Structure 1
Amino acid sequence: MGGSIKRYLKFVKPYKWLILLTLVIGIIKFAIPLFMPLLMKIVIDDIIGSTSLSAQEATKQLFYWVGGTMLVFFIVRPPVEYYRQYYAQYVSNKILYDIRENLYSHLQKLSLRYYSNTRAGEVISRVINDVEQTRNFVMIGLMNVWLDLATILIAVGIMLTMDIPLTIVTLLAFPFYGYSVKHFFGKLRILTRKRSQALADVQSYLHERVSGVSVIKSFALEDVEQERFNETNGTFLEKAIDHTRWNAKAFAVVNTITDVAPLLVIGYAGYQVINGNLSVGTMVAFIAFIERVYSPLRRLVNSSTSLTQSFASMDRVFELMEEKYDITDKENAVPLPEINGEIEFDNVSFSYEENGEEVLKGISFKANPGETVAFVGMSGGGKSTIVGLIPRFHDVKNGAVRIDGYDIRDIQVKSLRDQIGIVLQDSILFSDSVKSNILMGKPDATDEEVIAAAVAANAHEFIQELPEGYETTVGERGVKLSGGQKQRIAIARVFLKNPPLLILDEATSALDLESEALIQDSLEVLAHERTTLVVAHRLSTITHADKIFVVDAGEVKEMGTHKELMKREGIYFGLFQVQHI
């Protein structure tokens, strides 16, 4: 816990003076009501119980004290209350903003391997739910706890000036209170962490199922999915009840202690009044001060529960922040200058896991500037893995990948990816306008450039027919568009980027023949005079390639042009014959 708090305080540090100001204002806010018990004592002992004041003088004194107190409450208290609430919320929101900004920056640097092994819902839960839970550490741990402690100290200080023995009786329950909090809330943190993980599992399950609801409906799996959701939700319920049960025990013990303590005070003070050792006004004031002392104590009990949740969430947030980067720039990495487009694989081996089975085994080939190079073969052979190494989505295990003679591990990742355009089989569109999705290729492009890119991608015509043209929102993952339309928008953003190196990973394999023809025309224009690497499922789309590599079981088994490979009558010939029977 100490490590998490220490890291969290780094986000708090820029706002330390605002927090201090909030504490000062808060102390004023909580100190003002502490005058009420003293007012009771003054009214009872010095005004009502006075034998030296006439009725007129006593009435005048009563209105003087009550009127003055009302002025304080009406004039001083409202602005103090406003600024205390405003600054407390302002600081907590700024800190949460900074943490989420830092987390999002961190998430963008994590490799694809991390995302392939981690559910999206789990990540979202930590960035949204867990970060939000840490607000309690700011609001309670850095502010309210200290304000409650200050309130208790001020109240105890005033009580000591009134009657020391009675004050000691008031504080007799404090040691029992401290022990019970320490005993109960240590385990509560563990239970809270388990509850948070179970909630993240529910969120992850929902995220996946909502994204794939079409599959559930197409297979009529609603009943099966309901049972599975009930299991996941039931696990969360179990963890939540464990947390609630222990929390209830804590409150039962602690609140009993804080409720018994006032009875001791009332009994002792009543005895002293009966025996003439204490005034009625002092007794009434002490009973009022009990509430002022034990209300903060009860809030501290609630604070312990909230802080426990906050600490558990804090651990989960920083656990995510500690995820290591697989792909990083070397200390002496240099920016990649504008490239000609020569690609070389030099005896490259690769495995997705550190000690896992090799997916690529000794791959070597060279693509000259401006050439179109195609990779074909059965699914799972390693084709997509080869092209994924070029933008450093993963790093090679052995060997080297070079661009224009530069080992890509020696150059800055951003400068490398800036010069690569990628079109995937399932191109992702974001729930934004068509224009915004195309602008991802070049965020500062003009409207004219966007339209020109869409025209080149054979997308302009259908975009104009959309309800709001280029401003039409495409829905999550482009759900409002057909597969061919999504793909043409994806190609348009690569046209806009205009990179010297192009990677096409089965860009047309999931499309109908009409869409494929349109997109194939666009891709041929896009590939003109730039180095292009194509992963192809339909061999008819790559017969024009300068070089074709047949990849099987992580190795290059054949290479040559379409004509050369057909003459050889090997693996490529067999694949081509199967597709054209």
Structure 2
Amino acid sequence: MSNRQPNAFHRAFPAREFFRGSARSVLFWSLINGLVLVCLLVDVFLIVDLLNHRGRITVRGEQNVQLLQKIRNVPPLVIPPVEAESDAPPAEAETEKKQAEPAAKQPASQPEEKQPVAPAPVNLNLSILTDSGILPSVWWLHSKYQLGIMSGIYQRVPLLQENQTALFTLILVALILASIRVLIRWRARQRSLKISHHVSTTLRNMIHRQALRLGPGDLSGKETDQAFHLFIKDVGTVQNGVFEWVYQLSRHPLALLILLLFAISIDWRLTLQCLIPLAAAWYFLSQHRKEYEIQHAKTLVNIESELSLLAENLRSTRLVRGYGMETAEHEQFQKYLDKYTDNLDKLKRVEGWGHRIARGLAVFCSCLVLFLVGYKVLVNPESLPLSAAIILVGIFAFFYLPVNGLYQLMQIRNTASIAASSIYRYLNQIPEVSQAVGAKFQEPLSQSLQFENVSYSQSANGPKILNGFDIKIPAGTSTALVSLETLAPRAVSYLIPRFIEPKSGRVLMDGEDTAWVTLESLRAEAIYVSGNDPCLTGTVKENIQCGDERYSLQEIIAASKEAHAHQFIQNLPQGYETALGQHGEELTVGESFRLGLARALLRKPALMIIEEPEEALDDDTKTLLEDAYTRIFQNRTILVIPSRITTLRRVDQVVLIHEGKVEAVDSQSNLLKKSALYRHWEYTRFNQFRHSQES
């Protein structure tokens, strides 16, 4: 099963689709989103570093000063340091001061000897700047990575050269980048939804086509319920799985790679050292999650079992009170209640201690990461300043989001794979009915309808619904099919228009095997009307016309009058243009049944198969049906699965089916006299003291 599930999901959304159409667009937008994430991380680093250094930078060495001078775009030898300090020792400065004092004490009368005026000395070995904006960050990036792009940005954007304007600019850029990421993710999400919608639409079309192929042979309605469940729930699960697979898989791995590369660019040795405890923390958490899910499921099973035992005791109150077992029953109930309480405590312990241990190990690993980063800052602050360390720790913290997203994505894929497997198992079913090559056109029934030793079962190893069913029905007669097995009459009826195929035997119309005639001509002459069928989604006219534009409105009205449906149709809000179905007008069971009769009568079939509704009909509907049957039963062959006693009295003969064979064939009155089995069937169906439905 585990091998088939991924294949089923791959069949619904092949891997090659990632590089086509909308999926390729999602990858493109995810790549753009990754580039914006890089810019956002750099911007956050600059903000943190600005708050850390406050725009103050100290540079020593003539070459460094000149390099700083170049970055600031200041002419050579014109360095306006805020503070200039002498490199001479304090003792030398004191000596120079004493040597200068005698000269100051010379008599004023002596003429001063003119000396050439030398320019003020400029210290090229030291420069201290304050309020320089992001210059400290630019200097660190340039000295470590030789990134000229940052110095170019610094030179061309004056707002970044002072602290206040730089902080405002960086925050504004962060907001813009964050907004761009939101828009890009929205765009990728819309594209992913388009892909998942396309997959779900394709699957629903396939299920719809398969349901049309398999549905007519659904005797019990189970396959229809299965198709409905697949159409609504399982396709929805696959749709969600495809959406998450495209959206998250194009997003999380790229984000994880960008975060990892950014961390490595800050300090690759420290990053590799920190990945070990981070991987250990994730391992502990994931293992705890798996064990917790297993233990949680087992404990819930035990709890449900104990609750069932406690509930069972509620059903034995009469025995307990009748035999004076109150004390023993209370003790037993308390015993099960204690077990239930113990299981609840066990569940709490599983949640408590396991959670604490896993979180404790994860916290220990996280503290180890903080120690490694903090130690590097203390030992070598020039290589890893505090701002870079903060960004590095933040990146490690954000590792959890894409990793956890990928972990959950695999669970979503597994769930979608199970649903896809159910869908494709249904789609792989082969319809039992198919048209033979060179099939003939079926003429209207004029002589007889015959079943020759027909056997039928719903599955190869299932019980036989029909087993040697053999009967010949003259054309132009009316026949009722009854049986204690509810599926037997329906199976006989389904065999005529070839909704199902016999496992053995033949169905003959005027001596022609129906297996060798075209399905279109056969179903045009043998129409099945069920009182349990819902209305089609559409107008009343479209429900009767069934998409065949050859029938005019006058013909539709004539057929409706013959089925006594015209009157209630006229009373609808828009008459024959009234919408029916889930979002339209709701018809009663009797109205829906008469609409179905009109739909069949419009086509003037030679053979009509009528399955009356199981639900009770009102008296007016019964009266209208009796009059409609009088006209419907004339000049055509009728097979009916009755739900009313008056229908049994109207037909020419009743066929009693038992254990898949014909038990008796006679009129209703004669069967009442001759067949105990028929009397039992009629009593169970129409006894007025057991059923409200009569005549």
Quickly name the TM-score band, shorter chain normalised: 0.7 to 0.9
Distance 1:436 1:191 in 2: 57
Q: Find out whether 1:173 has 2:180 as its counterpart.
A: no
Partner of 1:264: 368
> Structure 1: how far apart are the matches of 2:577 and 2:434?
41
Does the Cα contact within 8 Å between 1:453 and 1:496 map onto a contact in 2?
Answer: yes
Secondary structure (helix, strand or coil) at the match of 2:564 reads coil
* Per-residue CA distance 1:72-116 (angstroms, 9 max, x = gap): 628954653442222122222222232333333334444577673
Which one-letter code corresponds to 2:251 in the other structure?
L
- 1:340 matched to 2:444? The reply is yes
Secondary structure of the residue aligned to 2:508 is strand
Matched residue of 1:458: which SS? coil
Offset at residue 393 of structure 1 (A): 4.0
Tell me the distance in 2 between the aligned counterparts of 1:402 and 1:377.
21
List aligned pairs for 1:102-181, cutoff 5 A. Answer: 102-110=206-214, 116=220, 118=222, 124-176=228-280, 179-180=283-284
How far apart, in 1, do the equivalents of 2:530 and 2:559 lie? 18
Does the alignment pair 1:21 with 2:25?
yes
Aligned to 1:10: 11
Map 1:298-309 onto structure 2 (within 5 A). 298-305=401-408, 307-309=410-412
* Alignment-derived partner of residue 205 in structure 1: none
Matched to 1:371, the amino acid is G
Residue from 31, 42, 55 that aligns with 1:48:
55
Name the SS for the 1:391 alignment partner.
Answer: coil
Work out which of the two has the higher radius of gyration on C-alpha atoms and give 1 or 2: 2
Give the CA deviation at 1:301. 2.1
Q: Is 1:469 matched up with 2:575?
A: yes
Partner-residue secondary structure (3-state), 1:366: strand
How do 1:37-436 residues align onto structure 2 when only pairs under 5 Å count?
37-42=41-46, 44=49, 48-51=55-58, 52=68, 54-55=129-130, 58=133, 60=158, 61-62=160-161, 66=170, 69=173, 73=177, 77=181, 79-110=183-214, 116=220, 118=222, 124-176=228-280, 179-180=283-284, 183=287, 261-279=365-383, 281=385, 283-305=386-408, 307-323=410-426, 325=429, 327-330=431-434, 332-333=436-437, 337-341=441-445, 343-352=449-458, 354-367=460-473, 370-377=475-482, 379-380=484-485, 382-403=488-509, 407-409=513-515, 416-417=522-523, 419-429=525-535, 434-436=540-542
**Structure 1, residues 133-180: CA drift from partner, whole Å, max 9, x if none?**
334433333331342222222222233233122111231135435645
Is 1:488 the equivalent of 2:594? yes
Displacement after TM superposition at 1:371 (Å): 2.2
- What is the SS of the residue equivalent to 2:497? coil
Q: Distance in 2 between matches of 1:105 and 1:193?
A: 39
Residues in 1 aligned to 2:222 and 2:547: alpha-carbon distance in whole angstroms: 27
Give 1:414 shift: 6.5
Q: Give the superposition deviation at 1:367.
A: 4.1
Structure 1 residues 567 and 289: CA distance shift in structure 2, 3 A: closer
Give the 3 Å change call, closer, same or farther, for CA 293–344 of structure 1 in structure 2.
farther
Say which is worse superposed, 467-476 or 169-178, in terms of deviation.
467-476
Cα drift, residue 268 of structure 1? 1.8
Aligned partner of 1:233 in structure 2 is none
Counterpart of 1:487 in 2: which secondary structure? Answer: helix
Residues in 2 aligned to 1:193 and 1:410: alpha-carbon distance in whole angstroms: 56
Deviation (angstroms), 1:294: 3.9
CA drift of 1:22 comes to: 0.4
User: Gaps (5+ residues) in structure 1?
Assistant: 195-240
Secondary structure (helix, strand or coil) at the match of 2:501 reads coil
CA distance in 2, matches of 1:108, 1:530: 28
User: Which deviates more from structure 2 when the two are superposed, residues 376-385 or residues 164-173?
Assistant: 376-385
Task: Please name the residue that 1:198 is paired with.
Answer: none
Q: Which residue pairs with 1:34 in the alignment?
A: 38
1:228 aligns to what?
none
Return the alpha-carbon distance in structure 2 between the equivalents of residues 491 and 244 of structure 1: 63
Alpha-carbon separation, structure 2, partners of 1:429 and 1:529: 28
Q: Which amino acid aligns with 2:502?
A: V
SS at match of 2:57: coil
TM-score, with length taken from structure 2: 0.62
Mapped partners of 1:253, 1:554: distance in 2: 66
Aligned residues of 2:282 and 2:362 also touching (Cα < 8 A): no
CA distance in 2, matches of 1:478, 1:152: 52
* Distance apart, 1:460 and its partner CA: 0.8
**What's the CA shift for 1:336?**
5.7
Aligned partners of 2:564 and 2:594 also within 8 Å:
yes
CA–CA separation in structure 1 for the residues paired with 2:517 and 2:357: 62
The worse-fitting range, judged by mean Cα deviation, of 126-135 and 65-74 is: 65-74
Partners of 2:671 and 2:44 in 1: CA distance:
107
- Shift of residue 346 of structure 1? 1.0
Return the structure number with greater relative CO, CA threshold 8 A, min gap 6: 1
- Most deviating of 21-30 and 71-80: 71-80
SS at match of 1:48: coil
1-structure distance, mates of 2:229, 2:217: 19
* Distance in structure 2 (CA, Å) of the matches to 1:533 and 1:189: 58
Structure 2: runs of 5 or more not aligned: 59-67, 73-128, 135-157, 299-344, 687-694
2: CA distance, partners of 1:371 / 1:172: 87
After TM superposition, give the deviation of residue 374 of structure 1 in Å. Answer: 0.7
Which AA in structure 2 matches 1:10? R
| 1:25, distance to aligned residue in structure 2 (A) | 0.9
Distance of 1:345 and 1:6 partners within structure 2: 45
SS of residue in 1 equivalent to 2:251: helix
1:334-373 deviation line (CA, Å, top 9, x unaligned):
55624323533111123455445544342223345x5234
Supply the RMSD in Å over aligned alpha carbons.
Answer: 4.9
Task: From the superposition, tell whether residues 379 and 276 of structure 1 become closer, same or farther in structure 2 (CA, over 3 Å).
Answer: closer
- One-letter code of the match for 2:370? I
Q: Is the 8 A contact 1:133 1:310 kept in 2?
A: no
> Residues of 1 paired with 2:492 and 2:484: CA distance?
13
Cα distance, 1:543 vs. partner?
A: 7.2
Q: Which moved more, 1:29-38 or 1:44-53?
A: 44-53
Quote the residue 1:455 is aligned against. Answer: 561
SS of alignment partner, residue 529 of structure 2: strand
1:523 deviates by: 3.8
